[in-house]
A and B are shown apart, each in its own frame.
Chain A
Amino acid sequence: MTLTQNHFELFGFPVDFDIDQQQLSERYRELQRNLHPDRYANAPDQERRLAVQRAAQVNEAFQTLKSPLQRARYLLQLKGFDIDAEKETHQDAEFLMQQIELREALAEVQTAADPLDALSGIMQSIRESQAGLIAELQKRFAAKDEVDHLETRQVVQKMQFFSRLQQQAEEIEEQLVDAL
């Protein structure tokens, strides 16, 4: 039996892109204080099972609301605009070029004179792009009922590209550091 509320309702937030992270963390702790399976150690089996389910749902909601990318995706999903994480849609040429360049740069890191330094530069660049996209999302979602969902979806898709790139960069960093 799942909760019928959406993630925002569960945490008592309005359905908005802007969320106070501090309040989010505090409410998360409050929810888990009530729901965590540890609270139901002596309860009958059915309540214990339900507690595990609910606690898992709260964890899921928390992770979604914490990450700007996941929050944006979720907001779009609530409006019926699903995003397939895998499918790449039409993006502007400039963006595609940027992605190709970044991917190439990552591939070349291993052969650079100072790989960790080169990598650090790329990661900085990714972070800056992500910050820019988050700012754009904030502006778009601030339009409330007038949000252009299709355009916003494009922005979210761009964020997904960067998120994947960041993951790859982190994996390369791990390899480089462990080899030291």
Chain B
Amino acid sequence: MALLQISEPGQSTRPHEHRLAVGIDLGTTNSLVATVRSGKADTLPDEQQRHLLPSVVRYQADQPPLVGEEARRAATEDPLNTISSVKRYMGRGLQDIKNLTNRHAYEFADTDSNVPRFHTAMGDVTPVEVSSEILKVLKQRAEKSLGGELAGVVITVPAYFDDAQRQATKDAAKLAGLNVFRLLNEPTAAAVAYGLDKSAEGIIAVYDLGGGTFDISILRLNKGVFEVLATAGDSALGGDDFDRAIATWIMQQAGINDDADHHQLRRLMHEACAAKEALTEAERTTLKIELEDGSVWQGELDRERMHQLIDPLIQKTLLPCRRALRDAGISADEVQAVVMVGGSTRVPRVREKVGEAFKQEPLVDINPDTVVAIGAAIQADVLAGNKPDDEMLLLDVIPLSLGLETMGGLVEKIIPRNTTIPVARAQDFTTFKDGQTAMTIHVLQGERELVSDCRSLGRFTLHGIPAMVAGAARIRVSFQVDADGLLSVTAREETTGVQSGIEVKPSYGLTDSEIETMLRDSIEHAEDDVAARKLLEQQVEADRVLEALAVALAQDRALLSEAERTQIERAASRLQVKRDGKDHLAIKAAIEELDKTASDFVARRMDSSIRKALAGHKVEEFAGEEK
């Protein structure tokens, strides 16, 4: 439960108290959790000293799900109930599944919903629920190691993940009871770990080839500021695909047909993966596959053959690399270091090809398995408030252009790819018909011109447009992408100032009410009273608001008139009274009232602190010039 993770009301914002925060790398093949302790970031192992947690979940009837190594080992015996690489299914619809090459691996429930559900011995589960099981294990591991409840986490996502995939990740965290400080892009996380470790400055490239996703990011590191210049990738390309290419070849050699059963297919994938890993050190390796009739097929795979099989896939990663360099306005010569991330970058052929593309030896002394979790832990530590003087700043970008559907099935781009986030753009619309009070906007992500070639993000229906003559209304719709890379939409009719209500229908995702239902149904929450949880949530927020306000009033009295201050203080005491009561809706209303009363003050404070910062900076500049 998210609310229990925040420390006790009243203690939550004390500046000197160290808050427990972790970074989580929720990987396709393996997941990790890391934290900063005594100034050093480390991954946290389980009781058997294992740091990596295989991202595998096994569902069995009448038992809690099994997660990790034990589940991974069961994959070949119980393939339909053992879900691996669930990350490949996050934020995708049933239609997308049909296009995924590993679609045969599982059985999907036959439903009307667009959200895919794995059909397992324990019922039908969504990818979000499967991911949440992995997160729950990491949460428990962290809380046990650190001896307390987590204030929050930073979870990493591939930079190339779209809005639906990011939202699904956040939903999984919510189900696992985690408070997410930030979704952090994996290459950026790696850059943070690498950059701080080597005190690096300049332009670096991060080549991140995981089990199921590929990202390339070009960053500029400068005095603690990590600025992403451009990012590109493929969220459906990874080491799993290398395995598949090898497995397909083995099938041909061994005379196994496409319609082989699930166990056979799983065994093939395991053998292919093992062979790939063996060829990192050896020139050739033996293959052994148990066939359906019980006999054993033996063969051999050498490096040259493997290169033939995987070269086309590696080539697929080099195109995004070129595009990222172009978008960043950088040539390969200007890149000072190429950081390799992800288990698949251990394959010597990958290193060779990347070295050719960037005209330099990629750096391989960084642990490709843990670097992302370490970077996430570093940021989690800062976001938790444990390092108030830290100067680190991460400026990331939106990886895919955001557009709107216009007449004729075309997409008009409103926010281009690689725009620094947060970003907000406004677009004006008007009505077609007299008295029209609603309109629907279809938002998409992608670089192509046709709606059919882009990814649908969702449909936003605006309600409550004041009835007017057709064409008279001027509706300003604001599209805002936050620091997590998630889109939110607000709308206002400009001539009357009326704010429109917005109803969001995500194209690939669970609605808020579906998540609520899952939260309620999950075993851990069965005994919890929903109302009690909501009450605690509001109480914690109320305390946060009141404490922040107390600090603000103490520091910036000068920004308020007597009358204004009195009004704010009255609203604050009203909130305090409600906070101590039992009515969570009343608390929410009181928070909203105080927010409204204090909103000018909050804005004034922020602007004043900006001006002070700039003024201080200008003094430095001037002083610098004098030298």
Q: Do A and B originate from a single complex?
A: yes
Instruction: Please give the residue numbers on chain A whose beta carbons come within 8 Å of chain B beta carbons, in ascending order.
Output: 1, 3, 11-12, 23, 26-27, 29-38, 41-47, 50-57, 59-60, 62-63, 170, 173-174, 177-178
Q: Given A42-B384, A44-B541, A46-B595, verify A26-B617 contact (CB < 8 Å).
A: yes
Give the B interface residue count (CB, 8 A): 49
**Per-position 1/0 for B218-230, Cβ under 8 A of A:** 0000110100000
Question: Whole-angstrom distance between the alpha carbons of A45 and B393 in the complex?
Answer: 21
> Is the pair B152, A56 in contact by a Cβ cutoff of 8 Å?
no
Residues of B within 8 Å of A50, CB to CB, are 602-603, 606
Q: What is the minimal beta-carbon distance from A136 to any residue of chain B, in angstroms?
A: 24
**Per-position 1/0 for B542-564, Cβ under 8 A of A:** 00110010000000000000000
B330 an interface residue at 8 Å Cβ cutoff? no
Count A-B contacts at CB 8 Å. Answer: 114
Closest to A23 in B: B621
> Is the pair B606, A54 in contact by a Cβ cutoff of 8 Å?
yes
Q: What is the minimal beta-carbon distance from A1 to any residue of chain B, in angstroms?
A: 5
Question: Whole-angstrom distance between the alpha carbons of A42 and B66 in the complex?
Answer: 34
> Is the pair A174, B326 in contact by a Cβ cutoff of 8 Å?
yes
> Is the pair A27, B614 in contact by a Cβ cutoff of 8 Å?
yes
B423 an interface residue at 8 Å Cβ cutoff? yes
Question: Whole-angstrom distance between the alpha carbons of A128 and B393 in the complex?
Answer: 36
Of the residues A23, A29, A41, A63, contact of B393 by C-beta under 8 Å? A29
> Is the pair A55, B422 in contact by a Cβ cutoff of 8 Å?
yes
Main SS at interface, chain A: helix
> Is the pair A44, B483 in contact by a Cβ cutoff of 8 Å?
no
B323 an interface residue at 8 Å Cβ cutoff? yes
Q: What is the minimal beta-carbon distance from B10 to any residue of chain A, in angstroms?
A: 14
Question: Whole-angstrom distance between the alpha carbons of A45 and B614 in the complex?
Answer: 25
B300 an interface residue at 8 Å Cβ cutoff? no
Residues of B within 8 Å of A32, CB to CB, are 393, 395
Instruction: Please give the residue numbers on chain B whose beta carbons come within 8 Å of chain A beta carbons, in ascending order.
Output: 12-13, 152, 181-182, 222-223, 225, 319, 322-323, 326, 379, 382-385, 391, 393-395, 419-424, 480, 482-483, 541, 544-545, 548, 595, 598-599, 602-603, 606-607, 609-610, 613-615, 617-618, 621
Question: Whole-angstrom distance between the alpha carbons of A75 and B323 in the complex?
Answer: 32
Of the residues A30, A44, A51, A63, contact of B606 by C-beta under 8 Å? A51
Q: What is the minimal beta-carbon distance from A58 to any residue of chain B, in angstroms?
A: 9
Question: Whole-angstrom distance between the alpha carbons of A180 and B384 in the complex?
Answer: 48
Question: Whole-angstrom distance between the alpha carbons of A117 and B609 in the complex?
Answer: 52
Closest to A58 in B: B610
Q: What is the minimal beta-carbon distance from A130 to any residue of chain B, in angstroms?
A: 15
Residues of B within 8 Å of A1, CB to CB, are 599, 603
> Is the pair A41, B152 in contact by a Cβ cutoff of 8 Å?
yes
> Is the pair B482, A52 in contact by a Cβ cutoff of 8 Å?
yes
Of the residues A29, A36, A38, A170, contact of B326 by C-beta under 8 Å? A170
Closest to A170 in B: B326
Closest to A55 in B: B422
> Is the pair A38, B152 in contact by a Cβ cutoff of 8 Å?
no
Question: Whole-angstrom distance between the alpha carbons of A51 and B424 in the complex?
Answer: 12
Question: Whole-angstrom distance between the alpha carbons of A41 and B599 in the complex?
Answer: 18
